[in-house]
Amino acid sequence: MTILTLENIHKTFKNGDVEEEILKGISLSLKQGEITALTGASGSGKSTLLTIAAGLQPPTSGHIYFESHDLAELKPDQIRHIRASQFGFVFQFAHLVPFLTVEEQLIFMLDVSDSKQNKQQRAAEIKRLLELVDMEHRRTAYPASLSGGEKQRIAIARAMVHQPTILFADEPTASLDSKRSKEVMTLMRNLTKELGITTLMVTHDQDTMAYADHMIEMKDGCLSQPV
């Protein structure tokens, strides 16, 4: 089943009087539960495409269909609501809230997503997720006391705690060494598969690509043949 469809996406940036077209009519579909890796050289437009697909910036033209909505047509607050409740994000850096404990990071995300779970259900879900990312023992720790790998595991847990429909991951292992990268990607793949979450991931790391079901290479703002 198709979860997200991008149709003829164009993105143009103005740099003074010069217009630069970053995305040149890209169309693609994401299917439920699948991990799609966007790869390509620096400046090929992969991160721009991911942020447009995630509703973080509008396309210059084109359509983004998600659950019968065209994100390009929605108001900013409607897009924000979709981001909070239906999308999950993992970035290159964990970007955890420095004054919240590990457990509170997840509670906070459930609040943001307007989760309808009661207190017990929330507690159980958080416990389960922390066990899955092997961080249950650090539930009361603050980000300052966590290692880079631990932070990223918490970032993954935070991105999934509200059981989003789609996970957007922008270079999720770029700040980690190869051992931690493997751990994080194994974890991310296992979790998305277990929870049936569709994933769109930007990466230029060959090892990370191996965890994707599909790979799409971008070149000069266009999609080249799937690898």
Partner 1 sequence: MNLGWKEIKRNKIRFVILGSIVFLVSLLTFMISGLANGLSQDNAALIKNLPDGTLYLEAEAEGNYSFSSIDSEFQEDLLAMSDEVTAFSIQMGFVDDQDDKQHSVAFVTSTASDDFAHADHGEVILDQSLKEDGIAVGDILTNQQFDGELEVVGFVEESKFSHAPVAYINIQDYQDMYRTESLQILYTPEEQAAINTEHLQAYSPAEFLNTIPSYQAEQLSLNMIIWFLVVISGMLFGIFFYMMNVQKIGLYGILKAVGVKTSALFKMIWLQMLLITIIALAFSISLSHLFNLFAPAGMPFHLTAITTIQLSVIFLIIGFAGATISGFQIKKAEPLQAIQQGES
Q: By the criterion CB under 8 A, which residues form the site for partner 1?
A: 47, 51, 56-57, 77, 80-81, 83-85, 87, 89, 91-95, 97-100, 104, 107-109, 111-113, 142, 158, 170, 175
- Strand partners of residue 36: 200, 214
**Based on CB atoms, which residue is closest to partner 1, 15 or 225?**
15
> Least distance in Å: CB of 225 to partner 1?
28
Report the alpha-carbon distance of residue 49 to residue 148 in Å, rounded: 27
> Least distance in Å: CB of 56 to partner 1?
5
Amino acid identity, position 42: S
**Based on CB atoms, which residue is closest to partner 1, 84 or 195?**
84
- How many Cα atoms are found within 13 Å in the side-chain-facing hemisphere of 185? 28
> Least distance in Å: CB of 82 to partner 1?
8
> Least distance in Å: CB of 226 to partner 1?
26
Report the alpha-carbon distance of residue 73 to residue 103 in Å, rounded: 36
**Based on CB atoms, which residue is closest to partner 1, 154 or 213?**
154
**Based on CB atoms, which residue is closest to partner 1, 23 or 109?**
109
- Strand partners of residue 7: 63
**Based on CB atoms, which residue is closest to partner 1, 69 or 80?**
80
| CA Rg value for the chain | 17
Task: Put residue 196 in one of left, alpha, beta given phi > 0 → left and psi -120 to 50 → alpha.
Answer: left
> Least distance in Å: CB of 158 to partner 1?
8
Of 166, 178, 168, 167, residue with least CA distance to 205 = 178
Q: What is the DSSP letter of 210?
A: T
